[in-house]
């Protein structure tokens, strides 16, 4: 359900084609809500049927892509959604679920899982820090578009809210990296202790 609001939020900054929205979701917007083109296009069609967005084939685009704009109804629906209380989804953490049941696996398999978890968040941390730097410098394309639509008096609020969101992701990544590192160190100590016991027998 939140995909439609992520799309509405994106269109609240600038009109865009489904292709452009997909590209942005792979980059900045993907920090908060990932989606595939196969999910975005049907959602755009539904939003158009609801009257929340309107689409028109671009006369300047040689591929004749449809450019979507937020309608007043779409603006109302987006505002209602952002102001409503958050509906937190049920917890789903496939890596920790695997970890619980890895007690029958050899240590190198456990190590591979923990190292992979750390590597994943190492990569995400680079992305989120890069986005944060772009927001601070006011060079992030989506931010530039949004600021252009807002009065200068609102610019600091717009920027600060984006920084808060990115800081949440950065801290989460740092915590996950630290957790995985501690777990790897514990696993190394456990293996060293087992080797020591075997030698003592």
pLDDT digits (tens, 9 = 90+) for 52-63: 999 988 777 677
pTM of the predicted model as reported, rounded to 2 decimal places: 0.79
CA distance linking residue 48 with residue 197, whole number of Å = 68
CA distance linking residue 29 with residue 165, whole number of Å = 11
Average pLDDT over residues 1-9: 84
The first and second tokens of residue 158, run together, are 């717009």
pLDDT tens readout for residues 88-111: 878 888 889 999 999 999 999 999
Give the up-direction half-sphere exposure of residue 110: CA atoms within 13 A in the CB hemisphere: 18
Q: In the predicted model, is pLDDT for residue 151 greater than 70?
A: yes
pLDDT band at 148 (very low <50, low <70, confident <90, very high): very high
Q: Give buried/exposed letters for 59-85 (b at 16+ CB in 10 A, else e).
A: eeeeeebbbbebbeebeebbeeeeeee
Cα–Cα separations (whole angstroms), residue 141 to 96, 134, 147, 181: 36, 9, 10, 35
Q: In the predicted model, is pLDDT for residue 70 greater than 60?
A: yes
* φ, ψ for residue 57, nearest 5 deg: -65, 130
**Residue labelled with tokens 């949004």:** 146
The beta strand positions in 30-128, using DSSP E, are 53-57, 66-70
Neighbours of 99 (CB within 10 A): 16
Question: For the chain, which domains are there?
Answer: 2-83 (1.10.10.10), 94-200 (no CATH)
CA distance linking residue 51 with residue 93, whole number of Å = 36
Closest CA to 95 of 112, 117, 79: 117
CA distance linking residue 163 with residue 168, whole number of Å = 9
Torsion-angle region of 10 (φ positive above 0: left; ψ -120 to 50: alpha; else: beta): alpha
Highest mean predicted confidence (pLDDT) among 12-16, 148-152, 179-183: 179-183
Predicted pLDDT at 123: 94
CB 31 within 8 A of CB 163: no
């Amino acid at each position: 359900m939140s995909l439609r609001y992520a799309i509405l939020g994106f269109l609240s900054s600038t009109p865009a084609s489904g292709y452009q929205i997909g590209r942005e979701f792979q980059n900045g917007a993907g920090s908060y809500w990932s989606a595939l083109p196969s999910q975005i296009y049907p959602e755009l069609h539904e939003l158009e049927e609801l009257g929340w967005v309107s689409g028109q084939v671009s006369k300047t685009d040689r591929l004749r892509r449809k450019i979507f704009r937020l309608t007043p109804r779409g603006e109302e629906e987006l505002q209602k959604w952002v102001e409503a209380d958050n509906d937190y989804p049920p917890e789903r953490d496939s890596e920790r679920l695997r970890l619980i049941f890895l007690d029958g696996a050899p240590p190198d398999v456990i190590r591979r899982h923990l190292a992979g978890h750390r590597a994943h968040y190492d990569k995400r941390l680079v992305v989120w820090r890069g986005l944060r730097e772009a927001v601070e410098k006011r060079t992030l394309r989506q931010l530039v578009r949004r600021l252009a639509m807002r009065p200068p008096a609102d610019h600091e609020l717009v920027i600060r809210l984006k920084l808060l969101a990115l800081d949440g992701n950065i801290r989460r990544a740092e915590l996950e990296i630290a957790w995985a590192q501690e777990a790897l160190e514990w696993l190394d100590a456990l293996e060293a202790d087992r080797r020591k016991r075997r030698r003592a027998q």
